[in-house]
């Protein structure tokens, strides 16, 4: 059974940093792209970032470029999101998601999701 | 930036057919995907590659595509189908960036 368990969320002041982790099990982690998707309170889903199997390709939504860094450790079956210079608008539940890619059309989608971890940016 | 447009809400009575649309300029060239999200829960993939259904998803869920619009159809709606539904695709930049629609709240009357 595929399991994705996020951790690391919490309350942080504007301008602060936080590192999210996602522990994966039940599948061959190193064979899949992985992503972070967030959802602000009462709002819709927003893709944040994704990373290729070997970490050689990474993509970000424009609003987090230069502030967030996605990474992975295939030996530990873990995905990470380093979040710096946090803003109030980054407040959201952050989901880790296993990602499937269709190379021909550069399509990406999310076939398994964790339960999410809440990040609150407030003074 | 690329956008996908969904109606904010759709209402149907039990047993009827619900249709949720999603519009986007790149949809003729990109696959669409649909997710169901119930309150307090993570999203669940219900349709992939426009019209394919993952294992475990009931047959009453189907997807279709026509030009710049894709449609999620739920036939014989049940009370348990009440949820938010999100379409998702990618822009045409070829860089694996995902985009979500704003979501549609399905109410079963």
Residue B3 has a pLDDT of: 92
> Cβ A95–B45 below 8 Å, yes or no?
no
Q: So what's the pLDDT on residue A101?
A: 87
Once rounded to an integer, what is the mean pLDDT over residues A28-40? 97
Give the residue on A whose Cα is nearest the Cα of B29.
A105
Burial per residue of A52-78, b for 16 or more beta-carbon CB atoms within 10 angstroms, e otherwise: bbeeeeebbbeebeeebbbebeeeebb
**Contacts for B51-58: CB closer than 8 Å, 24+ residues apart:** B54/A111
Residue A109's closest CA among B67, B98, B30? Answer: B98
pLDDT band at A47 (very low <50, low <70, confident <90, very high): very high
Tokens of A58: 């990474």
Chain B contact set for A46 (CB, 8 A): 100
pLDDT for A104 equals 80
- Whether residue B86 and residue A45 make contact (CB cut-off 8 A), yes or no, is yes
Token duo for residue A77? 């079956």
Do B74 and B59 touch, CB atoms closer than 8 A?
A: no
Q: Which two tokens stand for residue A116?
A: 């999410």
- The pLDDT of residue B69 is 97
Handedness of CA A85, A90, A96, A98 (dihedral sign): negative
Closest alpha carbon within chain B to A43: B102
User: Can you tell me which residue has the tokens 């992503």?
Assistant: A35
Separation of alpha carbons A52 and A72, rounded Å: 9
Pair of tokens at residue A35: 């992503």
Phi, psi at A110, each rounded to 5°: -125, 110
What pLDDT does B95 receive? 77
How much is the CA Rg of chain B, to the nearest whole Å?
A: 13
Cβ-contact A97, A37 below 8 angstroms: yes
Which conformational region is residue B55 in: left (phi greater than 0), alpha (psi within -120 to 50 degrees), or beta? beta
Rounded average pLDDT over B22-31: 92
Mean of the pLDDT values across residues A11-29? 98
Cβ–Cβ contact A45 with B under 8 A: yes
To which H or E segment does residue A14 belong?
A: none
Give, in order, the Cα–Cα distances in Å from B44 to each of A23, A103, B15, B24, B87: 19, 23, 22, 22, 12
Structure confidence by residue, pLDDT tens digits, B64-108: 999 999 999 999 999 999 999 999 998 777 778 999 999 999 999
Tens digit of pLDDT for each residue in B50-69? Answer: 999 999 999 999 999 999 99
- The pLDDT score that the predictor gives to residue B2 is 86
CA distance A122 to chain B (A): 22
Tell me how far apart the terminal alpha carbons of chain A are, to the nearest angstrom: 40
Task: Give A83-119 pLDDT, tens digit per residue.
Answer: 999 999 999 999 999 999 888 877 889 999 999 999 9
Give the per-residue pLDDT at A107: 85
User: According to the model, what pLDDT value does residue A119 have?
Assistant: 98
Banded pLDDT at A81 (limits 50, 70, 90) = very high
């Amino acid at each position: 059974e595929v399991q994705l368990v996020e951790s690391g969320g919490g309350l942080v002041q504007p301008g602060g940093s936080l590192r999210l982790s996602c522990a994966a099990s039940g599948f061959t982690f190193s064979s899949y792209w992985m992503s972070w998707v967030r959802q602000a309170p009462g709002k819709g889903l927003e893709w944040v970032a994704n990373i290729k199997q070997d970490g050689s390709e990474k993509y970000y939504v424009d609003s987090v470029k230069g502030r967030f860094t996605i990474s992975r450790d295939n030996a530990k079956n873990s995905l990470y999101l380093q979040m710096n210079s946090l803003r109030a608008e980054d407040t959201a539940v952050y989901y880790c998601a296993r990602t499937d890619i269709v190379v021909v059309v550069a399509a990406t989608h999310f076939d398994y999701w964790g339960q999410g971890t809440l990040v609150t940016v407030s003074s | 930036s690329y956008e996908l447009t969904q109606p904010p809400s759709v209402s149907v009575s039990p047993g009827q057919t619900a249709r949720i649309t999603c519009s986007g300029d790149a949809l003729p060239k990109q696959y669409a995907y649909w997710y169901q999200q119930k309150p307090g829960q993570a999203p669940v993939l219900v349709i992939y590659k426009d019209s394919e259904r993952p294992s475990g998803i009931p047959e009453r869920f189907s997807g279709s595509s026509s030009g710049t619009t894709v449609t999620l159809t739920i036939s014989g709606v049940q009370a348990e189908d009440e949820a938010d539904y999100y379409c998702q695709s990618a822009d045409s930049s070829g860089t694996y960036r995902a985009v979500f629609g704003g979501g549609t709240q399905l109410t079963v009357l």
